[in-house]
């Protein structure tokens, strides 16, 4: 019924967040990892959406080949092998390598829903699918659970649902066009973790090129 009406029930969009202590002083919020628990029925629904959206993206070859995260037959190991292979080839040619390593803080929590839906539209999703995903993202709420006590609910206005099945795939779509902003660098991504590689005949050349592309990434982040 949700697929036919392109509307996700409100009850399926309530997350119960449990803070798990990591390390350091216990009175600092940043020392806790939030674990989100979603309704079981919503996870089954997401599984259906994931399979259909993933099949479409793979069939149409829309996912960047530079993305190694959350994809079948891809991993951190394959990303590392791909990077080191390029570095060794450049070294054999007598070129200098320079690499920049980027890690976006709380990347999954900063996703702008309007921009994500615009990108899904550009990738060819039909109106009913866009409406369904828009309903999936909109009006989500969360509450905090500590020692069995629940807080009040709070509206979530950005980001993709933590602990969801569909969330990682939506994030890949969101960051999918980052390599298009680069002029001199080759790149490998594992979700938001990104490596930029530039090679050249002199250290000065590669420094100029990598700094230029880091500026391009900064601009992409402002406009994404």
Tally Cβ neighbours within 10 Å of residue 98: 17
Enclosing H/E stretch for 35: strand 32-37
Helices and strands (H and E) in the chain: how many? 7, 8
Report the sign of the C-alpha dihedral through residues 76, 77, 80, 85, in that order. Answer: negative
What is the reported pTM?
0.93
Res 4 pLDDT > 90: no
* 165-194 pLDDT tens trace: 999 999 999 999 999 999 999 999 999 999
* Chain center to CA of 165: 13
Res 2 pLDDT > 80: no
> If you average pLDDT over residues 161-168, what whole number do you get?
93
* 128-148 pLDDT tens trace: 999 999 999 999 999 999 988
* 82-129 pLDDT tens trace: 999 999 999 999 999 999 999 988 899 999 999 999 999 999 999 999
End-to-end CA distance of the chain: give it in Å, rounded.
Answer: 33
Residue 161 is encoded by which pair of tokens? Answer: 């649902």
Q: Distance (Å, rounded) from C-alpha 161 to C-alpha 111?
A: 10
Full DSSP string of 77-132: HHHHHHHHHHHHHHHHTT-EEEEEEE--TTGGGG--HHHHHHHHHHTT--HHHHHH
Domain borders along the chain are 10-223
């Amino acid at each position: 019924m949700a697929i036919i009406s392109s509307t996700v029930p409100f009850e399926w969009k309530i997350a119960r967040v449990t803070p798990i202590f990591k390390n350091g002083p216990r009175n600092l919020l940043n020392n806790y990892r939030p674990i989100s628990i979603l309704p079981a029925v919503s996870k089954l629904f997401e599984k259906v959406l994931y399979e259909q959206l993933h099949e479409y993206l793979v069939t149409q070859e829309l996912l960047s080949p530079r993305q190694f995260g959350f994809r079948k037959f891809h991993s951190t190991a394959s990303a590392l092998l791909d990077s080191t292979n390029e570095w060794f080839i450049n070294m054999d040619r007598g070129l200098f390598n320079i690499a920049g390593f980027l890690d976006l803080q709380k990347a999954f929590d900063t996703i702008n829903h309007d921009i994500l839906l615009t990108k899904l539209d550009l990738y060819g999703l039909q109106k009913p699918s866009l409406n369904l995903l828009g309903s999936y993202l909109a009006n989500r709420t969360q509450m905090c659970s500590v020692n069995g006590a629940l807080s009040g609910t709070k509206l979530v206005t950005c980001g993709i649902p933590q602990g969801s099945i569909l969330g990682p795939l939506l994030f890949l779509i969101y960051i999918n066009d980052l390599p298009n902003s680069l002029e001199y660098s080759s790149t490998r991504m594992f979700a938001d973790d990104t490596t930029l590689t530039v090679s050249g005949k002199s250290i000065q050349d590669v420094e100029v090129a990598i700094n230029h592309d880091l500026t391009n990434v900064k601009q992409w982040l402002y406009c994404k």
